[in-house]
Amino acid sequence: MNQMTRLVPAPLPDLPDPDVCWAAFLRRDRAMDGLFVGCVATTGIYCKPSCAARHPRRENMSFQPDPAAARAAGFRACLRCHPDAVGRDRLAVEKAIAFIEAAEEVPLLETIAAHAGYAPHHFHRLFKRETGLTPAAYARGLRAARLKDALGREGRVTDAIYEAGYNAPSRAYVDASQHLGMTPSAWKDGGRGVSIRWRTVDSSLGAMLVAATDKGLCRISFGEGQAELHARFPQADLQPADAELDAIAARVAMLVDDPAAGADLPTDVRGTAFQQAVWAALRAIPPGETRSYGEIAAAIGRPGAVRAAGTACGDNNLAILIPCHRVVRRDGSMGGYAWGLDKKQALLAKEKGK
């Protein structure tokens, strides 16, 4: 398999800071699975961060970068969380993405799962957990993106439709209404029919706007107020904050200093399948690390779509929570940031503990 189809950033040989590791165990953070394991001195076993088992005392847990290192240190795998399976699961999802990409038409779930070597039901859950999308949604988003490409090239619309992998034009129009007509943030009709509560809150990097629908956070930004929120969601019903939003906003403000602490905050981000995949890949970058735009494109199985991945990073509505600040240029320079390079620099410096 082509290594460019990597779905999530590979574990680095360096171990994250032990406090970061411990915090990941305390909140059972699935996004951290595969990046390190925790070894429990009293039981002799090692676990992945999301393990459901009771936590040992802090002084009884040490950390290793991967299962092999834990075994070399004399520990054995937990029978409850199967820490050795994390790598296998990710490889299976990568394999499935390569298969979907290469297929002429959207493959059946059963076919994709069999190709990856899993039972369909289990694989569906696994794929969704790793990518944030079902296999079918991933395939549909891919096909719609290809149609858009082909429409720009082909002389005849029907040629473009067949070239993109549709076997009938009618399916293409259904998909097109769902994917092609979307604005970058994909809020239909400027948020018509949606009620959004909002407030500003002080943080150590300045005032932040925090806005949420009844499903979750829809906008986190710096230096914005009602006018900017209205411009983004012109048809939405903007409401003052209630006690629930006050509590969420307080946690958002703390994210500036502790970016790992927001994993369980509810979100309501709407976008194309491609954007959703990019945003999921961003959330998989551990605090203190950075990726290039090319690595993000490769991580979602679209290594050729570097520029589109950069655009999707820029369309991110949730500053810090979806950490687009962790994406830099391949040459190490900062790249862009919607809220100013000084904030990007400050956030990265905080995460690296400088």
By CB under 5 A, name the binding residues for Zn ion.
Answer: 47, 51, 53, 78, 80-81
Give CA–CA dist 84/218, Å, rounded.
36
Give CA–CA dist 102/146, Å, rounded.
12
Please state the closest distance from residue 50 (CB atom) to Zn ion, in A.
9
Q: Is position 313 annotated as part of the catalytic site?
A: no
- Does the annotation list 51 as a binding residue? yes
Return the number of the residue (33 or 94) whose C-beta is nearest Zn ion. 33
Please state the closest distance from residue 47 (CB atom) to Zn ion, in A.
3
**For the chain, where are the E strands, in sequence order?**
37-40, 45-47, 61-64, 76-77, 195-203, 206-212, 217-222, 237-240, 291-292, 327-328
CA angle, 197 then 199 then 202, to 5°: 150
Residues in a beta bridge with 77: 46
Owner of token pair 């830099």: 328
- Does the annotation list 218 as a binding residue? no
Return the number of the residue (78 or 112) whose C-beta is nearest Zn ion. 78
- Sign, CA torsion 44/50/53/57: positive
Q: Which residues contact 247 (CB under 8 A, 6 or more apart)?
A: none
Q: Is position 218 annotated as part of the catalytic site?
A: no
Give CA–CA dist 141/300, Å, rounded.
12
Owner of token pair 């018509």: 192
CB 263 within 8 A of CB 215: no
Q: Which one of 21, 39, 218, 324 is the catalytic residue?
A: 324
Return the number of the residue (74 or 240) whose C-beta is nearest Zn ion. 74
Backbone angles phi, psi at 177, to 5 degrees: -65, -25
Backbone angles phi, psi at 227, to 5 degrees: -60, -45
Please state the closest distance from residue 69 (CB atom) to Zn ion, in A.
16
Q: Which one of 21, 47, 218, 313 is the catalytic residue?
A: 47
Residues in a beta bridge with 33: 36
Return the number of the residue (80 or 122) whose C-beta is nearest Zn ion. 80
How far apart, in Å, are the Cα atoms of 339 and each of 21, 196, 208?
Answer: 29, 22, 11
Return the number of the residue (53 or 85) whose C-beta is nearest Zn ion. 53
- Does the annotation list 21 as a binding residue? no
Please state the closest distance from residue 32 (CB atom) to Zn ion, in A.
13
Please state the closest distance from residue 88 (CB atom) to Zn ion, in A.
16
Q: Which residues are catalytic?
A: 47, 324
Q: Which residues are annotated as a binding site for Zn(2+)?
A: 47, 51, 78, 81
